[in-house]
Structure 1
């Protein structure tokens, strides 16, 4: 499932390539991927200008030149691609937005969704989300105060969207590795120094993931050579049986609260 770096990568690309353009036509092939009837959805989206693309946690918000917004969550298997009738992935598209010079394809929205909501409705959807870890307002003092109350494993705490927004299975393992902490450690058992290490590791790893274009393998447009490069630079995720990049011990995989977790049992304490 795409996490914060993947969705922020999408947002930055769309901001450059799509914002300011008029949606000339809309095609929906799966009504369950949207929250209105197909005619109503098309009627409210067609002809509108895309004025901004924002991200909150693992969501994107496509803001139209009305009070309407398209709220996207890709969930598992969702992808997006900017192309045209001659440059289109050989995949089933649930929604296609056509602009004057390109098309935005929403692919794999079987579990994900693209909902048409008012600004107030979008705000309601985000009420339970925790802080954004890359925002300037995300400070060690508040993080430390909350983490020391957490009795669950770091793995489950980091992926809890009410505790902190945007982190999932992939980056939680990378963050624990960067902090030199085992993912089964508990927040309320960490020392102040370990909690500080985890805080800084969150920002280091998420920025690293973003700098490498995240881990989604499919490019976002034809000339895109950046998206997905984090796959080549993962420290531990999906590297079971490989040598640890820090101490050369063997990376292992275990299940923690039914979530697969990858870590180095030697240099993570």
Structure 2
């Protein structure tokens, strides 16, 4: 499932390609991918301009000039492609937004969605999310305050969207590895130094992943060489049985709160 870096990468690319452009046509091939009657969805956003594109946690928000918001969550298996009809991947498209001859394709939305809301409703939907870990207000001091009354295993805490927004299964493993802390540790057992390492690891891992286009398998546009480049930089996630790149011990996997969790017990403590 795409996490913060993948959605932030998409946001940056979409701001390059469709910001301030008008939606000239809307095609809905799967009614369950939207939350209103397709005819209403189409009528509300056709001919509207995309005035702003933001990210909140694992969501993207497309603001239109008639004060609606398209709220996107790709969920498991969802991805996007932007380009000409001739460039379209040979995959089933659930929704297509057209901007003249170029189109934004939403693919793999079996669980994901593109919902139409007014601004107030979107704020209500997203109100339970925790702070953004790449924002200016996510300081080390604020992070320590957040941890003060927190309990549970580190892995479970990191993927709790009400605690920190946008970190999921993949990047929680990479953050724990970067900080040299086992994901099974109880958050109450962390020393001051470990909390410091954890805080800086969150920033380092997420920023590096954004700069390298996240881990998405599919390019965002024809000739795209950035999207997905972080996949080769993953240190532990999905690498069970491989040698750790830091200490050469074997990477292990176990279930923590029903999530596959990858770690190295040679250099994570």
TM-score range, shorter chain: over 0.9
2:100 corresponds to: 100
Are 2:227 and 1:200 aligned? no
Question: Separation in 2 of the partners of 1:151 and 1:60?
Answer: 30
1:158 corresponds to: 158
1:35 corresponds to: 35
Question: Separation in 2 of the partners of 1:14 and 1:143?
Answer: 31
Question: Separation in 2 of the partners of 1:158 and 1:49?
Answer: 36
Give the SS at the match of 1:83.
strand
Question: Separation in 2 of the partners of 1:216 and 1:140?
Answer: 30
How many residues are aligned here? 269
Question: Separation in 2 of the partners of 1:268 and 1:136?
Answer: 28
1:133 corresponds to: 133
Question: Separation in 2 of the partners of 1:181 and 1:129?
Answer: 25
Q: Which runs of 4+ in 1 moved over 6 A?
A: none
Structure 2: where are the runs of 5+ without partners? none
Question: Separation in 1 of the partners of 2:82 and 2:185?
Answer: 42
Question: Separation in 1 of the partners of 2:29 and 2:66?
Answer: 24
Deviations 1:204-254 (A, max 9, x none): 000011111100010000011000011111011101111111111111111
Q: Could you tell me the TM-score, scaled by structure 1's length?
A: 0.98
Contact 1:148–1:189, Cα closer than 8 Å, also in 2 = no
Give the SS at the match of 1:208.
helix
Question: Separation in 2 of the partners of 1:141 and 1:233?
Answer: 29
Q: Mapping of 1:103-182 within 5 angstroms?
A: 103-182=103-182
1:227 corresponds to: 227
Give the SS at the match of 2:141.
helix
Question: Separation in 1 of the partners of 2:257 and 2:122?
Answer: 30
2:17 corresponds to: 17
Contact 1:149–1:187, Cα closer than 8 Å, also in 2 = no
Structure 1: where are the runs of 5+ without partners? none
Question: Separation in 1 of the partners of 2:13 and 2:264?
Answer: 34
Question: Separation in 1 of the partners of 2:101 and 2:69?
Answer: 22
